[in-house]
Amino acid sequence: MGQQETSRLFLALWPDPAVRHALRAARDAWTWPRGATPVHTDKLHLTLHFLGDVPGERLRAVLDGFAVPFAPFRLTLGQPVSWPHGIAVLEPLDAPPELPALHARLGEALMALSLQTEARAYRPHVTMARRASGVTVPETGPSIAWDVAGYALVESRAGLYTVLREYPTS
């Protein structure tokens, strides 16, 4: 019997071109230590839930199962932080209540689909770089206003990200 085809998936706030440009500028304002791996511009996003490997035959149900109601909101990013294990991130300056509410609704959708939710507490962020131990964190970051009007289900395969479906506000 052959190996079952799976898709490595995550739910994310996927930036529009203007926000992506602002995130790229924020990433490029850091001075990266030798060996650091800045996140490619096309991959900058804010993860809502990491799903991991999902069997291919479940994909259609998963695509339909993640349509949850939510209202648009503004997220303001701008707090540069160096996390343990060399992860450099940009965190929100404020976390509007709509963000954890969306995270919770998507968590309920995960459970309804019998998919695992992460045990760790949710810490919204955009990863700027990996292997960045010893980075000098900028004293202040840019203030990036992100008008969130949807989220996306994204597949990660062979280092490439593909948006499988976008879910606009309802």
Q: How confident is the model at residue 1 (pLDDT cuts 50, 70, 90)?
A: very low
Q: What is the pLDDT of residues 87-130, one digit of tens each?
A: 999 999 988 999 999 999 999 999 999 998 888 889 999 999 99
Q: What is the pLDDT of residues 5-37, one digit of tens each?
A: 888 899 999 999 999 999 999 999 999 999 999
- How far apart are alpha carbons 72 and 99 in whole angstroms? 10
pLDDT at res. 140: 75
165: which strand partners? 153
Contact call for residues 15 and 41 (beta carbons, < 8 A): no
- Over residues 46-68, the mean pLDDT reads 91
Q: What is the pLDDT of residues 129-149, one digit of tens each?
A: 999 998 988 887 779 999 999
Flag whether pLDDT at 66 surpasses 80.
yes
Contact call for residues 74 and 145 (beta carbons, < 8 A): yes
- How far apart are alpha carbons 78 and 123 in whole angstroms? 14
DSSP state of 11: E
- Fold that domain 6-168 belongs to in CATH: Cyclic Phosphodiesterase; Chain: A, (3.90.1140)
DSSP state of 113: T
pTM: 0.91
Identify which has the larger pLDDT, 140 or 65: 65
Q: What token pair was written down for 17? A: 């071109």
pLDDT at res. 170: 67
Contact call for residues 135 and 31 (beta carbons, < 8 A): yes
pLDDT at res. 61: 86
pLDDT at res. 5: 86
164 Cβ partners below 8 Å, 6+ apart? Answer: 7, 9, 59, 63, 152, 153, 154, 155
Flag whether pLDDT at 4 surpasses 70.
no
- Residue ranges per structural domain of the chain: 6-168
